[in-house]
Structure 1
């Protein structure tokens, strides 16, 4: 069981917190809050308990500090200030009590885990989920900043995801050492960590570590010889350019950050539900600042690359155009501007005897790819996945060399996961391989899973329920074409799954390369 809110950062010079006279299960505080279970100690030495408000009969978290009095002033002031801000993305604070020998704060109990725990366990998050988390944090900060306060403690240990998917920010500080601009910059660090699993501020102890596990650290960002951090897109494939630029702009100390409300509005605009793909034919957006148009509030605040506000207006205009075409385009001869998925049952004019109109097949944009390797602990064959979609047949991703065709009895298979970015009517998938003799199949799924051994296992198990056509067994060619798609169904996630490797030309070992994957549909 993990309680949201892992505490504030303890300064290296701070004196140890005395914990004698620690409470026991069943003790009643302030004649109202019954202690049920000791959960952990935060990095400042405070005890975190799960409790029950016996008056309102609701679960609560109780954070106790020994002693109280002057030494607990900052904690209590922070709690009082936080209690004045009510927001769905902020952990609610209910009470703050000083009993001299001890002080404690009573706050909302939320079952879940921190962003640090989530990414450490399951690996980096996909861009959509990272954006949603960043949007929730920015929204919480906008509410805090609107009161004139500073949060001062934004990092992966205090960004929490509840079991029902709610994102909340916990444990504000009021020690006067931080600022609202620094809060906003911290959102860039949260986005960077969510996208890459690395911390852009050095391999320092991470705020929010529990005392029982020491002051935990997360990996430092990848850096060049000068110490500059690598952008998220340089660390992993599939990060959209606009999200990459926004993250790096927030981390750039030479660029003035936007206000939290402007950042919240921008991330909220980018946080589009998965089924609202108004711009799907164009693929991921890439915004530049040299359009000659008036910049968005983010660009005006110092963004060096992006003009996101203008792009938002263009997106709205395009949505309006599509809606207008769908309303006015009653004649099927004008149907080239409509989305077949939006009107799959549209038919030809009555009486002409023609068959229903269908959109012509075209090459679909692949938004993201990654290697699926559920049975490897090293996971050292995941690089170069993007080469299967770069348009160059001579350049691809390849497996390591194995001693037998079935991955040396070491794996049940490996594959390339494909994200089309939106639902499409798919006609065929063509895979070009480096050698003949490969056994493989194409599978489809309805959702993504974490990029980890556990996540890959769940993905393969889920996707094997939906095979596309028949598998190729020891195929005698280097090109596989899968066209067994249901024309009445739409697809977004696909998996090219290899179960048997061909023998190398040299005769020593087994391996294969996936040179290029092409998806066609409408």
Structure 2
């Protein structure tokens, strides 16, 4: 169990730490903090102890430096600054005391291991690496929101508790780093978690020498020019979107996003499988039975049941009317209005087809470039007649799906070939770019199935919309001599919202005969 001070244990060849007057187990500092066990010495010349706050009776970590005074100024200033930022992914700082002979910082005790120690057992799977990157980015965003810089983000300062909580420790205030360096360090954390290699050889971990001692971390795999290999080149199974994000953060030629945008993007990617049915920006869609709840926030489960019952009643009513019409053929008043009149010879005139709203037999989301496929739910809400409910994309940090996707689509099955007059999509916001295509056949709902579907739907209907200035998008370029069963509404650009780029498709309706 380590509670590293700056994330780095002293190297095996490091000189002994000056500990004149060093404390002993059982000593109580500031009449409050009892030292229980010496954990380790870090490479910054500090002693790390496990202790107990005898007043609040909680475990603490005590980081001591000898001597205090001027040599401990940076440590104490960093502790004071860190104590002002409260965040679940930041180690809590409780106290900072300078006794001249020594100085010490009292902070939260974390039962767990550093990321450096965790990855020593082997690189992490992409989902866990994403979760850790998300936690670190969230912590950094909280620090940056105060105008401060952490300045010490690396695998040794990222702690993973035994209960899975990820926290960032030991900020610095020496002015050597910037917010951009913090953000790029998150890319280093992702790279290290995925590969077990640290990509910042030009800026080694403080107090560590690459390739020497137990504090060292293996450098990234590099080509002859010194360029690092992408995570996907180092190991198999790294998703393309995570590989691209990591390498973009490490590329000095690409301006990094702000820490809050990066946090939002990693938060979007870090979604537990069991929570994929939730609307990440709205009300939970499944609640306990509530017959009297008629508000728009009622659970969709109940709504679907109601729609299903209404649908069955509607089918029954239509069947009854058809039966009556069939049995009543001898009564002229019950004949269909499109039947030839008595003055028109039978067969000499064909009535014009009646344009009506066509029934959508099936609808689903097409997402060929995503391996997580966590945006597939709620497609049926686009055909329930309620424009207040619909399907939504996740939130992205740019209009083109953060460069992770070429687009997303809505696949529509009319059940049988029809003459189609128009398709109208009701959208949550203006500024959407989209097109409509048709093709032949159904495909399985999988990454490969979606790829095959997109390849097969190449016949475009009408002209595409580019940053459409309205929320109603109508396609009417259908060939009246052709019949259509399968359509693909393909979205290539998302509208801007207060939190990023996101689209809701509230309703899709098809008119034809």
Q: Structure 2 length normalisation: TM-score?
A: 0.55
Is residue 268 of structure 1 aligned with residue 272 of structure 2? no
Count of matched residue positions in the alignment of Structure 1 and Structure 2 = 312
Q: CA deviation at 1:217?
A: 1.3
SS where residue 271 of structure 2 aligns?
coil
Gaps of 5+ in 2: 278-363, 373-394, 417-441, 449-513
Question: What is the CA–CA distance in structure 2 between the aligned matches of 1:332 and 1:105, rounded to whole Å?
Answer: 69
Are 2:135 and 2:166, in contact at CA under 8 Å, matched by a contact in 1? Answer: yes
- Asked if the contact 1:7/1:44 (under 8 Å) is kept, the reply is no
Whole-angstrom distance in 1 between the partners of 2:141 and 2:9: 22
Counterpart of 1:104 in 2: which secondary structure?
strand
- 2:180 is matched with which residue? 181
Once residues 214 and 204 of structure 2 are traced to their aligned partners in structure 1, the CA distance between those partners, rounded to angstroms, is 6
Distance in 1 separating the partners of 2:403 and 2:229: 27
Residue in structure 1 matched with residue 505 of structure 2 by the alignment: none
CA distance, structure 1, for counterparts of residue 178 and residue 221 of structure 2: 27
Tell me whether 1:127 sits opposite 2:212 in the alignment. Answer: no
**Alpha-carbon deviations, 1:74-123, whole Å to 9, x = none?**
000000000000000000000000000000000000100011100112x1
Conservation of the 8 A alpha-carbon contact between 1:114 and 1:159 = yes
Q: 2:370 aligns with which of 285, 288, 303?
A: 285
- Equivalent residues of 2:231, 2:243 under 8 A apart: yes
2 CA distance for matches of 1:286 and 1:221? 26
Query: Are the structure 2 counterparts of residues 42 and 9 from structure 1 closer, same or farther at C-alpha, using a change threshold of 3 Å?
Result: closer
CA RMSD, Structure 1 to Structure 2 (Å): 3.7
CA 1:205–1:147 in 2, change beyond 3 Å: closer, same or farther? closer
SS at match of 2:151: coil
**Whole-angstrom CA distance in 2 between matches of 1:170 and 1:189:** 16
CA distance in 2, matches of 1:144, 1:102: 28
Classify 1:313/1:241 alpha carbon distance in 2 versus 1 (closer, same or farther; 3 Å): closer
The answer for the alignment partner of 1:169 in structure 2 is: 168
Q: Which residue of 1 aligns with 2:226?
A: 227
* CA–CA separation in structure 2 for the residues paired with 1:147 and 1:8: 26
Sort the Cα spacing of 1:309 and 1:363 in 2 relative to 1 into closer, same or farther, 3 A.
closer
Distance 1:85 1:187, change over 3 A: same
Unaligned runs of 5+ in 1: 288-295, 301-306, 334-359, 367-522
Displacement of 1:5 in angstroms is 4.9
Is residue 211 of structure 2 the alignment partner of residue 217 of structure 1?
A: no
User: 2:9–2:40: 8 Å Cα contact kept in structure 1?
Assistant: no
CA distance in 2, matches of 1:150, 1:313: 35
Whole-Å separation in 2 of the counterparts to 1:127 and 1:283: 19
- Residues 173-231 of structure 1: per-residue CA shift (max 9 Å, x gap): 00011100000000000000001111112397544779xx9462121111112111111
Residue 246 (structure 2) aligns with: 247
Alpha-carbon separation, structure 2, partners of 1:169 and 1:103: 22
Larger radius of gyration: 2
Deviation, 1:3, is: 2.4
Matches within 5 A, 1:13-412: 18-121=18-121, 123-202=122-201, 206-207=205-206, 214=213, 216-276=215-275, 282=367, 285=370, 298=397, 307-309=400-402
Preserved CA contact (<8 Å) 1:63 1:105: yes
- Change in Cα spacing, 1:226 to 1:309, as seen in structure 2 (3 Å) is closer
Change (3 A) 1:133 1:10: same
Residue 508 of structure 1 corresponds to which residue in structure 2? none
Instruction: Give the Cα separation in 2 of the matches to 1:299 and 1:99.
Output: 51
Residues 5 and 169 in structure 1, CA contact (< 8 A), matched pair in contact too: no
Give the corresponding residue for 1:393: none
1:446 maps to what in 2?
none
Aligned-partner Cα distance in 2 for 1:126–1:200: 18
**Secondary structure, counterpart of 1:239 in structure 2:** coil
Distance in structure 2 (CA, Å) of the matches to 1:275 and 1:226 = 44
Spell out, residue by residue over 1:376-398, the C-alpha distance to the aligned partner (whole angstroms, 9 max, x if none).
xxxxxxxxxxxxxxxxxxxxxxx
Give the distance between the partners of 1:35 and 1:299, measured in 2 at CA: 51
Question: Could you state the TM-score of these two structures normalised by the residue count of structure 1?
Answer: 0.54
Return the offset for 1:332: 11
Displacement of 1:7 after TM fit?
A: 4.0
C-alpha spacing 1:205/1:141, structure 2 compared with 1 (3 Å): closer
Q: Kindly indicate whether the alpha-carbon contact (under 8 Å) linking 1:92 and 1:108 is maintained by their aligned counterparts in 2.
A: yes
Change (3 A) 1:283 1:21: farther
Check 1:221–1:265 CA distance in 2 against 1; reply closer, same or farther (3 A cut).
same
Give 3-state SS (helix, strand or coil) of 2:50's partner: strand
Whether the aligned pair in 1 keeps the contact of 2:89 and 2:135 (CA below 8 Å) is yes
Partner of 1:176: helix, strand, or coil?
coil
Would the aligned equivalents of 2:123 and 2:195 in 1 still touch at CA under 8 Å? Answer: yes
Distance 2:98 2:208 in 1: 25
Q: Is the CA contact (8 Å cut-off) linking 1:266 and 1:308 kept in structure 2?
A: no
CA shift, 1:275, in A, is 2.9
How far apart are the structure 1 equivalents of 2:144 and 2:199? 24
